[in-house]
Each structure stands twice: as C-alpha cells, then as structure tokens.
Chains A and B, each alone.
Chain A
Amino acid sequence: MTPPEPAGVVLRLDGIVKTFPGVRALDGVGLEVAAGEVHCLLGQNGAGKSTLIKVLSGVYRPDEGTVEWLGQEVSFSNPQAAMRAGIATIYQELDLVDDLSIAENIVLGHEPRRLGFVRRAATARAARTILGRLGHPELPAWRPVRALPAAGKQVVSMGRALSREARLIIMDEPSAVLAHDEVANLFRIIRELTAQGIAVIYISHRLEEIREIGDRVTVLKDGRTTAANLPARTTPTRELVSRMTGRTIEYVFPDRVESPTGEPLLRVDGLSRDGEFTDVSLTVAAGEIVGIAGLVGSGRSELLETIFGARRPDRGEVTMAGRRLPAGSVPAAVRAGLGMAPEERKTQALLLHEPIYRNITLATFARYATVGITRPGSEREAAERVAMLLDLRPRDVRPTVRTLSGGNQQKVVVGRWLVGERTRLLLLDEPTRGVDVGARAELYQVIRGLAARGVGILLVSSEVPEVLGLADRVLVMREGRVIHEAPAGSIDEHAVLDLIMAGSLMEEAAS
C-alpha cells in the first residue's frame, strides 16, 4: 500500500538528534507534514514525541539534523521565533492567562494598539473574526478565560494560534482533557483548519481518534522513526502497535522469583473519587508486585494517593493486613506500614536544599529522637545503611539532595520507606520517570529485592514493558476504571497497549 502523495510539503525533518546527559532522546527522527493534512504522531511514552515537539516549537535546538520549513532550512532559537514563522503549539497545560478575557488571550503579545493604548474595539473585532473561523462565534469575547471549561480554553488557545497566522498547529494530546462530545467538536474545528490549508500535527494515544481525524501516521520508537506516512484510516492496528513495541532500550529485568500466593496484605474495595476513578477493587499480597498500566489521566496516580490517604475517597475503603484504614490520613497509612514514592520527585517528594540523609529520614526522623531531641548521629547511620543497600552514589549522605542524578534522587525517595524496615507495602508512582537506563536497571533490582523480602508493591507506570517486566500481576486502567486484570505471564505488550488505547478486550469481555 503506498501512502498518499503529499500535496505541498510544508515541514520536513531529517535525521534529528537530540541528546541529554545520559539519554539519547531523539536518534535520527524524520517527519514530513503537508499543508492541510492531519499528521498523527504515535509512540509510547519515552519514544521521543515530547522532545520532537519541543524541537519543532523552538524550545530545544537539535544537536544534528535539518528542519526544513516552507522550503527553507530553519533553526528556531526560541519559541517566539517558531511562532513568528507560523508554527504554533497547543500543550496539554494550556498557556492561557486565566484572568484575561478570551479576546485579550487571543491577541496576547500583539494587541492592536494606538499610541501605546490597546484598542479594545479592534481587539474584540479580531477575536470575533477568529472565533467565527473556529466555529465558535457564540463565545463572549470579554468573558475571562477562567470561567471557560477545558474545551473552551482549547478553542481560545487555537484562536491564539490563528491570530498569529499559524500554518502548522501542533496539538499534544488535545483530547485528554475533553469529554466525549467535546472531542467531536474538536475534530470539527480541526477539519475547518485543514480546509483552510493549515497543517496539524496531532498526538494521541487513542487509536479510534487517529482513525477518525488523521490523514497520515508517523510512528516513533526509541527516538527513531519506525514508520512514516502510513495511511491513518487503513493501516491495520496490529501493524501500528508492532511499530511501537519491542523497544530496544535495554530493559534488564532481574529474574522473576516464584510468585507469592499469600493472604492479601492490602485490600482495596470499591474505591471511587468522582471525576478521577471509579469502583476500583484490588489486592496486593506480601511479596507480590502488582502493576497498573494506563495513560496519564487514567486516574492511576489519584488512585495511589487515595490509597495512601493523601486524598479522601468518595466511596469505598482500604484495608491493610485486615484493618481498615481511616480515610484521608497519611499518618495512619504510614503507621499501618504503607509508604509511597510519588510521581513528581521534585515537587512531591524531596526537600532539594536539605542534605541527602535528611531526605532519606524525612518520614522517620521522629524515631531517631528522644523526647523530641533528634540524634543526628544515629539518624545519619540509618540513612547510610539505606544508601548502602540501594547503592546510592556518591555514598556520602551529607551534601544536598539536588546534587544527585535523577536515578539516585529516586533511590532516595524509595529509600525513605526502607529506613528501619517498617514498610510492608510500597506504592510506587512512575518510579523510573526521568531516570536513565543504567539507574533504571538498578531500581528494578531494588524493587524486586524488596518484594523478595516480603514487601508488597503496587506499581504504576505508563511504560508497558516496565509493568510487564516487573509485576507478578497486571491491572490495566482506562478512564478511571480497571478494565482488565491478568497474571503478567499471560498478557503481552500488544494486548496491554490495545487495551490502553482502544479498550477492545473490555468489549469482548462484556459480550
């Protein structure tokens, strides 16, 4: 099957390489986008999609390779330069000023003005024209953006791109924040844009969307283009998925030991939080690793935080070793033997300016105190034992934690719950995010080692191979529900990806 000939190529990337310390995020990516088409970018987390977007939008400069825009080789030194050239990016976290009006947001940065005064009438006119082009003339130009729902904000964001006369709009998972009927509206807008000759790069994990809106698909894996310009509607799902899977990054998983079959240590019954996740029930036994696969926004992080008491559930309960945990109390969860390594290391877990050892003992320093007076010596010794156990490098625990690499910082976050060996169940949220390959393998060893010593582990990751390689049992989450559960040996990457992206096995199971 030959891909359709592009009408007029506006963007051509060739051999783009971008490296970060320890990671080769892009390793020779090629991409070709034609005017008026919706070009879908497909790839697993870590495949290099976000880095590619940032190269295109002028946030990063590529180390090697060429970017050809409208027939000329370009190199954008900053996002403003890319925007001036006609490339606009709509990120998931929309960069709107909440307290300005719709019109002001649309013309932000190039307001119509005279003698330094903004011309309000001209601003409103410009905004109304653009909202009309987007098929939303009903949006009140002077309403503050804050009052709009996510879908409305997205329209404003696209309006800003149009007001800059963008000829290519990059949309990073635009449907992730939208309800079902809002997606239909988004697609209508995209069709109107492409009818005007604007090219769209569309990123989504949902295959059914790609089928509906996409013209061509380019697939990324390990920072390389594994397939270019496949027809979006007719390429079989199996082919798309196979181009994304079988990642070659060395994932070295320790050998699996015998799966434990003990009594459940942690039991979650019908746990729900409105708008986040619904009716989740699961169990984890001592020494068992249970993995949750799912996309960002599938409710997995919220689920973990609720189990840990950091959020209060609307319904359902959590039982630890037969005793019900009080809702919404982290101290109670910690006393019951739970520990959690949250998703965002820097904002949720570390005191970056504090010494390493104080970060390791953040949850336990009170145990190394007599009537409130700390004993820094014994506390540091305890931290050093953990540092030894996790092979923290450098071994000195006195410098501030920010001097450590990402992988070693993550060891500190996990190690926090190993001090004194009181943690019986560890909740790990994206334990290897931002961690390079070597340190990943070490973290896997640590996680398996903990399980071997009888610690139950509930792991969340967007990287399917990680879940499959580590877990004894796999749960798949989609849109806040657990849609599938299987022993790790009986399910493969294809099946999991299929479930995450399309939910097809769920329909089979239901019928």
Chain B
Amino acid sequence: MSTGTQAPGDTAAADAAPVAGPNWWRDEASEPIRRNLGLVGVLAALIVIGAVTRPDLYGDPAWVRNNIFTILMQASAIGVVTVGMTFVIIGGGIDLSVGAIMALAGVWATTQATQSFGAGGMIFAALTVGLAVGLINGVLISYGRLVPFIATLAMLVAARGLAAKISGKQTQVSSNLDINSIATDRILGVPVLVIILGLVVAAGWVLLNRTTFGRRTVAVGGNPEAARLAGINVRLHTLRLYALSGLCCGIAAIMLTSQATSAQAAMANLYELDAIAAAIIGGTLLSGGRGTIIGALFGVVVFSTITNLFAINGLTTEDQNMVKGGIIVAAVLVQQFRLKSVTQFLSRTRANT
C-alpha cells in the first residue's frame, strides 16, 4: 500500500527538542558537580563564621590543623554509615535501622565472650552482625515485599531491643587496647578513624561510579520497571543494597566503640536521621536514581563543622539542632529551586534564542 522509496519529507523536525551542543556540561549530568561546589561554599561560609567569632583560635595554624582532624573524626562513623545510606536511597529505598544496627553490632562485639577472641574477633562479630541484619532487612523488603520504611522501622525497634537484652542495659566497656587505639592512633599524622572514612568513601565512590553494582543501583532506583525490562534482577539487587548498608553499620560500630571505649544499646542514637539528612543535602534524590558519594561526604562534614562551630563558641546542642533543621530545609529548597526553576528557565531562554 503506502510502500514507497522516496525519502521522507523533512526529518529535521525530529530534532526540534533542545539540542545539547557545546553546553552539554550545563545539563543535569553535571548537576552533582555544581551542587558539590555549593556545599564547598557552605563549608567556606561556616569556616569564615568560625574565624570571625573565634579569631583567637583560627589565628593559630596548629589549632586549625588539629581542628580539621577533630571535625573529620567526628564525621568518621556517621560518614561510613552515610555511604551505605546513600546507596540505599539511590536504589530507591530508605534504611531507618542504621543506628540500631550499629548499637546491636557494637554491643555484640563487646560482650565478654566476643572480647575473649581479641580485636579480630570483635571486628568480625561487628561486621557479621551488621551484614546479617542488613540481609534480613533486604529479604523482608525484596522478597517479603514490605515497604522499606516499615521494614527498617520495625528493625530499628527490634535491633535496639535485642541490643538492650544482650547488654542487660549496661554499658559494656571495651578492654581491648587494639580496638581502643583505633580512635587514638595516627598513621603519618592522620588519625586512623579519618583514614577508615577515606577508604570507605573511596570504595563507595568506585562502587557507585565504576562498577556494574553502581550502575544497577542507579537503574533500580531511577526506574525499577525499566531496569526489570532490561533484564536486571531488581529484587536481588535491592537485597544487596540493604546488606551493604548493614555492613557499613558494622564498620561504623567498631569506630564508635573505639571512640567511646565502650558500647551500649543506646549508642548511635538518631544516626539514621543524620545519615539521611547528610545524603539529602549532598544531593541524593530521596525518590531514588540520583546521588553522589562525594556530596554525601560533604553533607556529613558540613554537619560536623556546625557542631564544631557551636562547640568552640560554647553554645548548646539545642541551638545546634535547630540550626541543623534549618539547614536541611534550606538545602532541599535550594535543590528544588535548582532542578525545577533554573533548568526550566534555561531551556526557555535557550528555546527563545
């Protein structure tokens, strides 16, 4: 019937959509980079505020160097948890149980029985407990089809309950000097805790950006149906994401235990909220599919810099929490503004020119 050989009319119309020319870097692909620059700006502003309010301290280079490590050490355990959290959120989920998993892993690693196996036994116990609880979360969500919010909320309650039962509501002191020295030792002048944070962040970056695991994470969170129809095993991958988050909690549990030289059922309280907040202000989309590890790291560092700023000015944690709340709201508002208004504005002006 309408079979013919003549060329179709003008196919140029097909390309009426905004053409990504030399300005492709202005496109969303580079959005994370620009947002990270924004966080660097926030960090710089916080340092300026610090320098203005306490010129005596900031005038001393030795104090400043030391303070940087203080801030990073404070960020270390929560930073490790945030890396795992970022993967879960990019993959379209949420993990409310991270603080509880840390408490359970910390308590399990510091029972007298575990401590008798030495530092290796304690680390093994913490990592295994973290991984196991993460796997349970993953199975409930992937194969039990529970909503992530509900499954991990239930785990939050249950894991802290188990931690309290194991510890008999007592603080368990770590008498293992190798474990305790993690928080105090330095290698080439850099605290071991900061090195661990650096290694986890580096590993997280490689995993997200340079591996098939990372690609699956983005696909599963960005469009689960498209991922499924492209032959990706969405359920298995979701399970792995929660296991990864659990493993990060196990690592963080050891770090926090060494800092406190003890563990108890109430440790790492509200870490889930700090980790989620850090990931979000770092540019991770709560609905999944987008986010960066570096942004999440910046998010954690911004929070611990604020804590530091309040501490050196002798202000209370109550004030600090109010400011933190404000920063979370402001960061999300800025993100929405960026994503919707600016891109629309740009595409409009580009279309008009």
Contacts and interface: CB of A to CB of B under 8 A. Distances in A.
Contacts of B11: 438-439, 441-442
Interface residues of B, number: 47
Interface in A346-379: 347-355, 358, 362-363, 365-366, 369, 372-374, 376
Contacts of A358: 215
A252 interface: yes
Contacts, number: 151
Contacts of A250: 2, 8-9
B306 interface: no
Interface string B193-230: 00000000000001000111111001100110111111
A332 B299 CA distance: 41
A251 B29 contact: no
A372 B212 CA distance: 5
Contacts of A400: 27-29
A365 B18 CA distance: 27
B212 A405 contact: no
A405 B211 contact: no
In this complex, the member of A403, A404, A442 whose beta carbon has the largest number of chain B beta carbons within 10 angstroms is: A403
Nearest to B5: A255
A405 B14 contact: yes
A102 B343 CA distance: 42
B17 to A, nearest CB: 4
Contacts of A177: none
B68 interface: no
Interface residues of A, number: 61
A442 B9 CA distance: 11
Contacts of B20: 394, 396, 398-399, 403
A362 B219 contact: yes
B14 A353 contact: no
Contacts of A471: none
In this complex, the member of B1, B13, B14 whose beta carbon has the largest number of chain A beta carbons within 10 angstroms is: B14
A255 B187 CA distance: 73
Contact of A347 (B10, B27, B225): B225
B218 to A, nearest CB: 7
Contact of B230 (A362, A393, A442, A469): A362
A437 B16 contact: no
A231 interface: no
Contacts of A354: 218, 222
B325 interface: no
Interface string A433-446: 00011111110000
Contacts of A407: 14
B219 A438 contact: no
A157 B2 CA distance: 42
Contact of B3 (A256, A342, A492): A256
B1 A373 contact: no
B52 to A, nearest CB: 39
Contact of B13 (A333, A340, A436, A465): A436
Nearest to B3: A253
Interface string A320-341: 0000000000110111000010
B15 interface: yes
B223 A351 contact: yes
7 contacts: A22-B13, A347-B226, A352-B222, A362-B230, A438-B13, A440-B8, A465-B1
Nearest first, the 7 A-B pairs at minimum CB distance are: A399-B20, A438-B11, A441-B8, A334-B231, A405-B17, A363-B230, A439-B14
